[in-house]
Amino acid sequence: MTTVTRSFDDDWRRWIAENLMLDAQPDALHGALLEHGFDAAESAREIDAVLASPYFHGAARLRNRLRKRDWILSVYGTLNRMRAGSGEIERRERLSRDAFFEQYYCQNRPVIMTGAFDFWPARTQWRFDYFRERCGDCEVEVQFDRESDANYEINQPKLKRMMRFADYVDLVERSGPTNDFYMTANNTSHNRAALAALWSDVPVIDEYLDPASADTGFFWMGPAGTRTPFHHDLTNNFMAQVIGRKRIRLAPLCDTPHMANHLHCYSQVDGAAIDYERFPSMRNTQLLECTLAPGELLFLPIGWWHYVEGLDASVTMTFTNFLRSNDFSRHYDTYHEL
């Protein structure tokens, strides 16, 4: 009987190189290749070829430079943990402009503010009946079928559906907890115009935001149970909670090496139930958690990882038009990979 062995292709050679870069031992890789049906002598030759390659040694030098950056980030992480009360997100009442920018914005620290948008008509007027009366006949864009797509956030451009706003409001009001449908910032290019009548109810918070900016905010609406998986943004953000509550888990920018960042700004970690066996590096992450209630404003610093879950049917406004520079994407070029 003739034993058929597998042939090496570039995908498997890449697998060998990547695992060696991750400090896997050659003997362990050799054993794994045998388990996958490769010939012992050929497997040894392929591993030795990688180890002898000047391309591999050049990549290893780059890896070590990146490890130096990881060390720098770990220093920031350690310093974050030294700060008194660092296990919780601070809550402050109506911070002054200077205090907000100097203590939080420029230091990349989250904060929850109360009283910052009490002057909004939305705080007293926004109700489901009000939405139906004011904009019920408007055609809005909503994401649907999220629960049938494990990568619903990455694939959200394929999940768009148009419908009357009144019908969507009915759906949100009457449904039980679900993540199957959600109106998010990714739908705003259409919905900002469709729901323009609501924008007068959320005038600019000019203590911190630029009233001259064309970016006037993003409208989020969904039932209890909506989820936004762990990811980071390329801007600083305000989350103004108008209706309902949201549970939010955050991890600092400096803990990015522990976040299983597999594509662009997304993590493989399930924020609802973190699997520490699958992602042991998450044990090194400083996780903060809060419940954002109506009337509270969360400052979400750029690069901070966050998972968001709707505890109630909720409406949130988010903003990026700060009075200080918020242009951090100019040198970001890993949209399709790390």
In degrees rounded to 5, what are phi and psi of residue 247?
-95, 130
CATH number given to 89-319? 2.60.120.650
CA distance 324 to 42: 59
Per-residue pLDDT at 81? 85
The stretches of the chain forming alpha helices (DSSP H) are 10-21, 26-35, 40-52, 54-82, 97-100, 122-125, 128-135, 165-174, 188-194, 196-199
User: Among candidates 218, 124, 129, 126, which has minimal Cα distance to 166?
Assistant: 129
Per-residue pLDDT at 3? 58
In degrees rounded to 5, what are phi and psi of residue 223?
-80, 175
Q: What is the mean pLDDT of each run of 10 residues along the chain (338 residues)?
A: 76 95 94 95 96 96 92 91 78 96 97 98 98 97 96 93 98 97 95 96 98 95 98 97 98 95 94 95 94 98 98 98 95 84
Q: Which two tokens stand for residue 150?
A: 């494990």
Please report, for the chain, the start and end positions of each structural domain, with discontinuous segments joined by +: 10-52, 89-319
What confidence tens digit (pLDDT) does each residue in 191-234 have?
Answer: 999 999 999 999 999 999 999 999 999 999 999 999 999 999 99
DSSP 123-170: HHH--HHHHHHHHTT-EEEEE--GGG-TTTTTTGGGGEEEEEHHHHHH
CA distance 318 to 299: 10
Per-residue pLDDT at 1? 45
User: Among candidates 336, 282, 253, which has minimal Cα distance to 77?
Assistant: 253
